[in-house]
Amino acid sequence: MVIRIHDGEEASATRTPLEGGILGWAAVAMLGVCLVVIRVVPSNRASQVRRFAQIWAGGLFCFFAGVHRGASFYDAKGPQLSDPFIFLATHALGLGAILSSSNISWRALQVGALLNMAGDVRLARQGRLPRFLVRLRPAQLSTAFVLLILLEHSTPNHVLSSKSD
């Protein structure tokens, strides 16, 4: 027996299913947790937490790519030509952020958050992704965007100020 929190098909849900909201926000909240932890751990550990946050954010984009690819199978018309390109680009962004430790990947993740938000909302309105993403993605990815900026800019200052002591 499978216990489900949401009764019905998520693909047709217009409101975010409870489990989707909990899991979606928990994933983004981890970036906020990392931001707080960076401020309280010793400076020699802050760079490790920052790297973890970067890997986590990259993993989120790999997940978003999988959501998009999987949802394309629910489209009554079938996957469209753009679907594999969106999947590959989003996945490449996530993998690039995981494999690179440079500041460029932080900026790429920020741009990716905005592009993914706009793209997912557009595709959800077209019925190519679950409708509840029209409401979830803007709030979720705007929050992620702000947290990514804060992670990029606050961490180096914290680490540099501690090293100069």
Question: What is the model's pTM?
Answer: 0.82
pLDDT in the model for residue 113? 95
Residue 156's contacts (CB-CB under 8 Å, 6 or more residues apart) are none
pLDDT in the model for residue 13? 67
pLDDT in the model for residue 101? 79
DSSP line for the chain? ----SS-S-GGG-SS--HHHHHHHHHHHHHHHHHHHHHHHS-HHHHHHHHHHHHHHHHHHHHHHHHHHHHHHTTSTT---THHHHHHHHHHHHHHHHHH--SHHHHHHHHHHHHHHHHHHHHHHHTTSS-TTHHHHHHHHHHHHHHHHHHHHHHHHHHHHHHHT-
CA distance 119 to 142: 13
pLDDT in the model for residue 81? 85
Mean pLDDT per 10-residue segment, the chain (165 residues): 55 73 91 94 90 95 88 76 89 94 89 92 84 89 96 62 45
Residues 1 and 116 sit within 8 Å (Cβ to Cβ)? no
